[in-house]
Amino acid sequence: GSEELNTRPVNNAFEALQGKAAGVDITSSERPGTVGSIRIRGNRSISASSDPLYVVDGVPLSAGGIETINPRDIESIDILKDASSTAIYGSRGANGVILITTKRGKAGRLALNYSGSVTLETLKDKSPAMSASDYITWRRWAYYNSDPVNNPRGDQPNYDKDQIYFAASGDPAALANVNKGWNNGTWDGSRVTDTDWADIVTQTGITHEHTISGSGGNETAQAFFSIGYLNNQGTQKGQEYERYNFSMSVDLQVKPWFKMGGSINGSWAVQDYGYSRTGQSSGSGPVDIYSAAKAIPRFGVPYDEEGNIITNPCGSTTNVYTVIDEWNKSTDNRQTFRALGSFYGQFDFGKIWAPLEGLSYKISFGPDFRHYRQGIFISKDSAVKMGSKNYAKYATDRYLSWTLDNQINYNKTFGKHNLGVTLLQSASKYNKESGSESANAIPNENFEWYNMGSVDITDAATYGAGMSTGMSENQLASYMARINYAYNDRYLLTVSGRYDGSSVLADGHKWSFFPSAALGWRIDQEDFMKDISWINQLKLRFGLGTTGNSAVSAYSTLGNIQSFYVPFGSTLTPAYATNEPYYTSSQVKMANKDLGWEKTTQYNYGVDFSFLNGRISGSMDIYHSNTNDLLLSMTIPTLTGFNSTYANVGKTKNFGVDLSLNLVPIQTKDFEWSSTINAAYQKDEIVELANGKQDDISNAWFIGESINVFYGTASDGLWQESDAAEMAKFNANGHKFEAGMVKPVDQDGNYIIDSNDRIILGNKNPKWVLGWSNTFNYKGLELGIELNGRFGYMVDTGGEGQYGMYNQREISYWTPDNTGADYQKPIYSTAGGDAYSSLLGFKDASFIKIRNISLGYNFNSKALKNIGISSLKLYAQAKNIGNLYSSVDFMDLDLGTTYYNRGFTFGLQVGF
């Protein structure tokens, strides 16, 4: 509920959900304005979307998620996981449903509330870059290992060799800095200036958020409003997110038999995404400015003797650029306007005519509008452009969707029988229009992306202009019936069926029927349980149902038309063809006029319990599902004129256990300790693919294995001098193994490392997800501790190339005196060092993280009334404290990076 959401300040609702529900795995993002991802009960589809459906105040969202909603405006969040509970949402609920209920007005006097907080964050790196001195030694080893005959060992510094090693980079200032370490033929690395490039691009991140809300009304009218503001300045310079929120709802009891109301939730957000490499001169590179800074060796210096910025510190022109003032020279600005509406009218026919008691009709309409604009400008003075030309890009997306529901409900009690019937007719439409243009050589930097008309689009050599527009539209129509029956409040039955039609599927396959059923037995209501006072609730549940997924492109069943030119007389004349690969630059998929629904049948077995007056309570669910007719891209004979098409082929299955346990270990008059544990186990498996039981190696899809696995060559540590005889057998077959290099595993024993030696290394998805929350209350004092973890999966840390061009994080690398190192020896090379270095990047991953610790104080309400205040709470919080356990000590496995933000928050909540 809202109390849970207000326990700790969060920038979006995703953060509030982490670790709060069993079977729900949420990843994080530290970039301001960017959210992670959410999965409910793992993956069932291979290529179709696995995102859940978000429903806000009864309106399914199509134009985005819930990241723009102010968390302070949310009353409750409910998560529907099994097919029976999601049945009312039909095909859109195939991956689970997240129900958001926003706050509404309540009868009573006008109540005003303010909540606000300030958060200070610093960037913490679990794997900092080598110091200048360490890097210089490391590079000497890299040169030695590339030519040990002519170069001295890395621990035997040589002035003349250093002039070669570090002058070759082409940066005189960097060489001069290295030479500071030489004094009368003696090397002292501490004399070299150590430039902390990462420190240059980081700052104290400051986030402040404020919300003012009001609620009030009487028996016939209730209203609620709120205004919110969030400003999140990132820990990396140039990253910032600003959001304004407005929310309002009104509920009117117009007549005893007629009620109507509506709500509007609007937001305006501006995200400065930060360092951008779009339109760069060449190649790929770091995704943010901190990564760019870490790539620069620390013996490089920012300025030359004249005070000019050195564009390529240490001389490398490949992805090693200065970061000085780059946050002012490249801009990636993203603006989003979002408006959600929910309007309803409800008729109670029993209030009109008594024999119709229990019969009601509700019509609801929910529009969802989103406008997104991205503007990118990179100055010619940016190191990314290396003095070439200004670059600009302007792109817009406009989303408009709506849902119209007509719902009839009938509820009646006959003695010990309770009956509920629901009939629903639903229609929804989704439309997206997009456009973008980009160009080089923008003449006036002051206009950024607002002067694109000044370029000559016909002069490709100068401007390289490009433009595109697009439109996508789809509709969904549905009919649903549901019956709820209960006998004596003990035996429960729910049966439902939904008939969905999707415009994205082929004629003759657009419509499908999705049934579900659920049984419940409230054992605690039985007569034989009356004398067992310590059992307060005991309920058994069973549910089964089928859901569908049509998450493919809106026009996958239609042939695309592409333009090409043919000689006609003495000129080239434009012509058009459907997917003809011989005349277009890229092949497209063949249209499939038989494309239908991907269907999942899920079985759920559950128990709800509460013992000892609620001191122990919770639920456990065991589920398994089978997904058939997977929407997959399959290879087809090229004689058709195409090489692939979407088709309903393949099967997967999924098994899992969800456990939620609520405990109150200690409860006295003044002190209470409450604890909540959410744990989930999940395992998915591929049963069939496009070609039946045949593996799809190119996509790393294997029969009997998880959908997301790592497939490659395994490693067995490093070669040592004692392995000389075995290395010789490999080298006789063309390999060039040496002591200190990575030792790949030869699975077939033929002394040749090739594709036949690849195996499944591990699963990308965790088997276990854990959340554990503890709250300690003493009078008005409240202490909260939240932990979360993932277990039983594998992560690719990227390995360590170690070929001497880029900076290097602090690692234990192989030398003749350090043979038990974690990583291979460095080898200087412009093309790459050890060919198998990436094999060391695959690590078993498990962690338990202290997500946050909060301390708050609720002031006594009786004392506050004398000064006109109804409630007052002050609190402080520390987030991302650290790990209790991590199998990879140099990474934050929750984020998948070596760095994260640690923050401290101070907040206030007051009601009048």
Residues 689-721 have pLDDT tens digits of 988 899 989 889 999 999 999 999 999 999 999
* Spatial distance between the Cα atoms of 142 and 149, rounded to a whole number of angstroms: 13
The length of the chain, given as a count of residues: 912
* Spatial distance between the Cα atoms of 503 and 427, rounded to a whole number of angstroms: 12
pLDDT greater than 70 at residue 498: yes
Beta pairing partners, 562: 577
Mean pLDDT is lowest, of 282-291, 595-604, 681-690, 822-831, for: 282-291
Fill in the amino acid letter for 664.
V
Select the more confidently predicted residue: 826 or 442. Answer: 826
* Spatial distance between the Cα atoms of 313 and 905, rounded to a whole number of angstroms: 38
Question: Torsion angle, CA of 831/834/840/841, rounded to 10 degrees?
Answer: 0
Residue 448 falls inside a structural domain = no
Q: What is the DSSP string of 87-121?
A: GGGGGGGTT-EEEEEE----SEEEEEEEEEEEEEE
pLDDT band for position 582 (cuts 50, 70, 90): very low
Residues 618-635 have pLDDT tens digits of 999 999 999 998 877 777
Give the mean model confidence (pLDDT) for residues 537-545: 96
* Spatial distance between the Cα atoms of 896 and 732, rounded to a whole number of angstroms: 40
Long-range contacts of residues 384-389, Cβ cutoff 8 Å, at least 24 apart: 384/276, 384/277, 384/280, 384/281, 384/321, 384/326, 384/330, 385/279, 385/280, 385/281, 386/281, 386/311, 386/312, 386/317, 386/321, 387/311, 388/281, 388/440, 389/440, 389/441, 389/442
Beta pairing partners, 728: none
Within 10 angstroms of residue 570's Cβ, the number of other Cβ atoms is 5
CB 625 within 8 A of CB 601: yes
Return the SS3 of 698.
Answer: helix
Fill in the amino acid letter for 340.
L
Percent of the chain surpassing pLDDT 70:
91
pLDDT the model gives residue 568:
58
Residue 190 falls inside a structural domain = no
Q: What is the rounded radius of gyration, in angstroms, for the C-alpha atoms of the chain?
A: 31
Give the mean model confidence (pLDDT) for residues 260-270: 96
Residues 842-889 have pLDDT tens digits of 999 999 999 999 999 999 888 888 888 999 999 999 999 999 999 999
Q: Which helix (H) or strand (E) holds 520?
A: strand 511-522
How many domains does the chain fold into? 1
Question: Phi/psi at 153 (nearest 5 deg)?
Answer: -60, 160
Residue 576 falls inside a structural domain = yes
Tell which residue, 773, 793, 796, 777, has the closest CA to residue 785. Answer: 773
Residues 435-465 have pLDDT tens digits of 999 988 888 888 888 888 888 777 877 788 8
Whose structure tokens read 């609702």? 13
Sequence-distant (≥ 6) Cβ neighbours of residue 901 within 8 angstroms? 30, 121, 122, 123, 124, 205, 235, 880
Residues 639-688 have pLDDT tens digits of 666 677 778 888 999 999 999 999 999 999 999 999 999 999 999 999 99
Residue 103 falls inside a structural domain = no
Count Cα neighbours of 566 within 13 Å in the Cβ-side half-sphere: 7
pLDDT greater than 70 at residue 495: yes
Tell which residue, 225, 264, 212, 227, has the closest CA to residue 56. Answer: 264
Within 10 angstroms of residue 490's Cβ, the number of other Cβ atoms is 16
Residue 208 falls inside a structural domain = no
Return the SS3 of 173.
Answer: helix
* Spatial distance between the Cα atoms of 51 and 15, rounded to a whole number of angstroms: 16
Q: Which helix (H) or strand (E) holds 217?
A: strand 205-217
pLDDT greater than 80 at residue 161: yes
Give the mean model confidence (pLDDT) for residues 525-552: 90
pLDDT the model gives residue 576:
52
pLDDT the model gives residue 8:
63
Sequence-distant (≥ 6) Cβ neighbours of residue 107 within 8 angstroms? 216, 217, 218, 219, 222
Token couple for 399: 């989303």
Tell which residue, 214, 448, 211, 493, has the closest CA to residue 332. Answer: 448
Give the mean model confidence (pLDDT) for residues 149-156: 96
Give the mean model confidence (pLDDT) for residues 496-510: 90
Tell which residue, 777, 824, 787, has the closest CA to residue 803. Answer: 824
CB 126 within 8 A of CB 895: no
Return the SS3 of 190.
Answer: helix
Residue 803 falls inside a structural domain = no
Tell which residue, 526, 512, 455, 516, has the closest CA to residue 478. Answer: 512
Whose structure tokens read 């620069």? 296
**pTM exceeds 0.75:** yes
Residue 791 falls inside a structural domain = no
Give the mean model confidence (pLDDT) for residues 188-217: 96
Q: Give CA separation, 205 vs 271, 434, 905, in Å.
A: 15, 33, 12
pLDDT band for position 601 (cuts 50, 70, 90): very high
pLDDT greater than 90 at residue 66: no
**Residue-range definition of the domain harbouring residue 579:** 558-588
* Spatial distance between the Cα atoms of 688 and 629, rounded to a whole number of angstroms: 10
CB 574 within 8 A of CB 580: no
Residue 199 falls inside a structural domain = no
* Spatial distance between the Cα atoms of 756 and 603, rounded to a whole number of angstroms: 39
pLDDT band for position 571 (cuts 50, 70, 90): low
